[in-house]
Each structure stands twice: as C-alpha cells, then as structure tokens.
Amino acid sequence: MISRRRALQIIACGTAWGAASSPGLAGQARIDRLLAEAKTHGDISQRVAFISRALLGSSYEGYTLIGGPRSPEKFVVRDDGFDCVTFCETVLAAAVAREPEAFAAALRTIRYQDGTVSWFKRNHYFFEWSRHNIENGTCRAVTMDGAVDIEKTVYWHKALGRRHFAMQVIPRAVFMDSSALLRDGDIVGFVTQRENLDYFHIGFIAFGDDGDFLLRHAARSRDRVLDERMDRFVAVNRVHYVTLLRPQEGAGA
C-alpha cells in the first residue's frame, strides 16, 4: 500500500503518516498525564503549545497506521513515536479533549471523516484533512493578504482515484513577514511542488523564549520531534507556499 502518507517520507524532510499500537495501552498514560497538566495552561493554543513542547525529543516513527484498501482499518494510538501528521493529530486531540475519556473520540474525529474508522474515510491528503477539520469545527483557516489561488490534481494512490483541489495558499515571503499574526499552536502545511501530491510536511508554529519563529515538528531526517528555525526550514526545503490552520476552543464539546 502506497499513499500520500508514504510519499511524505520520500520527499523533503521524509515525513510520513504514523500512529500506534492500540488505544488504552501504556502509551496513553503519558497522554492522560499531559491532559491533566494542560488544564492549567489557558486556551487551546496554549494547551497545544504545552503538550507539543512536552513531546519534544520523541522518536520519529512512520508506517504504523494499520489498514488498507483491501485490509481492515484499526484505530491506533501512540504517544512515543510520530510522523509529522500523527504528531499534530495526537497533540491536537489532547488539547481538544481536555479529559482522558474524550481523547480517543477527538482523535478519531481529527483523523477520519465523520470519525468513522475506515481506510477510505482516513484523511489521506492533508488538503482533505484540513477541509474536514474546518468543517467539524476543530480548526479554522488563517488567511493573509497576498494569498493566491492554485490548483492541484493528486493521484498518488490508485485506490483513491484522481482528486482535484483548488487551494488558497500563502506565498513564502508573505508567511515569513507575517509571524506577528500567528500564535503558538497554529498548524502550518507546506505545499509541495510535486504534481501528484498536495503537501510534503506539516507542523506547529512555535515561538522561542527569545521570540524566534520556529517550526515544531516530527522530522524523519532528524529522527525525532524538535524545534527548528522556520527561516532555515523554508530555505533548505525551497518552500514556495504554505497554508495555516488555527485550533478552535470547544471543538470537542
């Protein structure tokens, strides 16, 4: 099985879609602890920042979701190893849930269309991940003056067919000059120049204690979750366009 998630490992930072063994195992004890500790950290952006910071240093893991077009999908949870998307999913679900018993439902809603655990309902393309998580109220789009419209036709996995996306994207220069409009915990997607894919990587916006503009992400090339200077990342990876999402309070209520 090759999908958009596997493609992410091949390009740029080599990120891919990863996840877990199964919910309720020892790994979720860490999630439960972070949920409890995050309650004192204000709004959802602050909770995302706190939880994602606590996971810095976690290992990069890919190819761990279970399921395919001809094999059963299994809902999996993991807190000790991530790829770029499962890192964002896990942190976002924990920040939305507020309580341990609500975490699994929040993660299903974020990862799958309508929360239905099925390979065909999995948000394989990040454009669809974004659209569905805007529709269900988990996030809202962040727009900027200078955004432009582009079109993408994606066809990495034949079982999903060809899909055409009309996307509003933010040019690199506009993005880098507008960090004052962003918040810790905003989700940034990096649009690929490849013809048959939509994005090559995602991560969280973070600001260092000295105000540095950072990308907090799970990077295959570095084998871990880390903070990296945004200017370095966009230069090394020749980023042309990004999209931005902001987590919303009360999404899991």
Which domains, ranges and CATH numbers included, belong to the chain?
4-247 (1.10.3670.10)
**Beta-strand pair 199-207/187-191:** antiparallel
For the chain, report the end-to-end CA distance as a whole number of angstroms: 35
* pLDDT higher than 50, residue 25: no
Question: Which pLDDT does position 121 carry in this prediction?
Answer: 96
CA dist list (Å): 44 to 142, 195, 247? 16, 35, 7
Higher pLDDT, 196 or 137: 137
* pLDDT higher than 50, residue 5: no
Question: Which pLDDT does position 251 carry in this prediction?
Answer: 64
DSSP state of 11: S
Entry pTM? 0.88
Mean pLDDT, residues 86-102: 94
Q: Name residue, tokens 């269309």.
A: 113
Mean pLDDT, residues 128-145: 97
Mean pLDDT, residues 35-64: 92
Question: Which pLDDT does position 195 carry in this prediction?
Answer: 85
Higher pLDDT, 80 or 59: 59
Which of 23-27, 52-56, 155-159, 216-220 is predicted least confidently? Answer: 23-27
CB-based contact 125:133 (threshold 8 Å): no
* pLDDT higher than 50, residue 200: yes
Question: Which pLDDT does position 145 carry in this prediction?
Answer: 96
* pLDDT higher than 90, residue 125: yes
* pLDDT higher than 90, residue 13: no
Is residue 24 very low, low, confident or very high in pLDDT (cuts 50, 70, 90)?
very low
